[in-house]
Amino acid sequence: MNDERSSTEKTGRHSPTIRDVARIAGVSIGTASKALNANGRLRQETRDKVTRVAREIGYRPNDMAQSLHRTRSMTVGVLSTDSFGRFTLPIFQALEEQFADRGIAIFMCNATDDPERERQHLDQLLGKRIDGLVVTARRADKRPPVGPLPPGLPVIYVYSQPDDGSALSLVSDEVGGARLAVTHLREIGCTRIAHITGPEHFEAVLERRRGFREALALEKLTEHPGFYLSGKWSEQWGREAVAKLFDGVPADQQPDGLFCGNDQIARGAAEALRDRGIDVPGQVAIVGFDNWNVMTDAARPPLTSIDMNLAALGQEAGRLLVDMIGGDSIGGIRRLPCTLVVRQSTQR
């Protein structure tokens, strides 16, 4: 109280304190402290309310005083293998948004599928005494767990999975996304739906294939022979697959809907159909996967696609990592839903 009084007397203004934050937010001082220091078990709404009030009234905690009462570095490491950033950047941006109001900084390292480089980056991150670690990748395949790690360090795999199930993993529901695609094609009148996808050693290919078949069964549609084609993740493969499905095939045996394993394949397929004078979506409707705007918006017509909601994965990872840093024990695989983004390639 003496410090607050002297500050007021000198400046003529009252510097906001954590007591003010707690009073305005309608919580105890202890709860306000936990929310602002990203620890303890609190509801997300409570954390958000306290940080919002602190920001609005201009409360600035004394970092030196805080450091005497905690042993945290207020930093988190992100270890990625996605050299292009196609999948990692939306996750990283969402993490930054989650951590910004909590004063948590992020160190990001890219290992580009090089185990030795990953080990070096991990050593550097651990040397900074990070409070938690996020492991992400350019594909959601299972991988060896990172390590060795200090006991008790919170770790979350995002769009990635440890092959021993040793940690919390957040991934998109690829099976559910495929079901959305097929159901949408059926709803607009498609009955002969083909699936063009990538290499079968990718887990995403297997998951989307499973969702495709489940949706066909639910819609009581036949899986026609030759309507499943696996190849490369490329536009060229999309064009080649269309040739396999349409060249020399009677019109009544050709597909009227294409579910493509990614947007690159879908764009190539759309180009090939246009070159053959086949109208998209009038004669053949197309759904891609990933909702990559570089591909969906540049295609003619623009592509309907399944969005894996990578930003939502990052937001959930940030929320859960704060809880884990605060002492919560969380594990297992969590699959977050995908969404359908409708564009002209299915608008009949």
Q: How far apart are CA 84 and CA 113, in angstroms?
A: 12
Which pLDDT score, from 0 to 100, does residue 11 have? 37
Same domain membership, residue 282 and residue 204: yes
Per DSSP, 252 falls in state: G
For residue 140, what is the domain's CATH number? 3.40.50.2300
Is there a single domain that holds both residue 52 and residue 120?
no
- 281 and 191 within one domain: yes
Residues 194 and 297 in one domain: yes
Residues 298 and 233 in one domain: yes
Give the pLDDT score at 62: 56
Q: What is the pTM of this model?
A: 0.78
Pair (268, 182) in one structural domain: yes
Beta bridge partners of 267: none
Mean pLDDT, each 10-residue run in order, the chain (348 residues): 36 68 87 75 85 84 48 87 81 88 86 86 91 90 89 94 90 97 98 97 95 97 95 97 96 96 98 97 97 95 97 94 89 96 96
What pLDDT does residue 9 have? 36
Among the three residues 69, 84, 115, which one is the final residue of a domain in this structure? 69
**What pLDDT sits at residue 8?**
36
Domain that holds residue 295: 174-308+341-346
- Are the CB atoms for 41 and 327 separated by under 8 Å? yes
Single out the residue in 69, 98, 125 at which a domain terminates. Answer: 69
The CATH number for 17's domain is 1.10.260.40
| Residue 98 pLDDT | 85
Cβ-based neighbours of 136, under 8 Å, separated by 6 or more: 78, 79, 80, 81, 82, 87, 88, 91, 92, 157, 158, 159, 160
For residue 213, give the H/E element and its range.
helix 203-218
Q: Is 200 in contact with 234 (CB distance < 8 Å)?
A: no
Both 183 and 301 in one domain: the answer is: yes
Asked whether residue 33 falls in the same domain as residue 88, the answer is: no
* 195 lies in the same domain as 286: yes
One domain for residues 207 and 319 = no
The 10 Å CB-count burial string (b at 16+, else e) for 153-174 is: bbbbbbbbbbeeeebbbbbbbb
Check residue 176 and give its pLDDT. Answer: 98
Q: Last residue of a domain, which of 22, 40, 69?
A: 69
- One domain for residues 225 and 284: yes
269 and 241: one domain?
yes
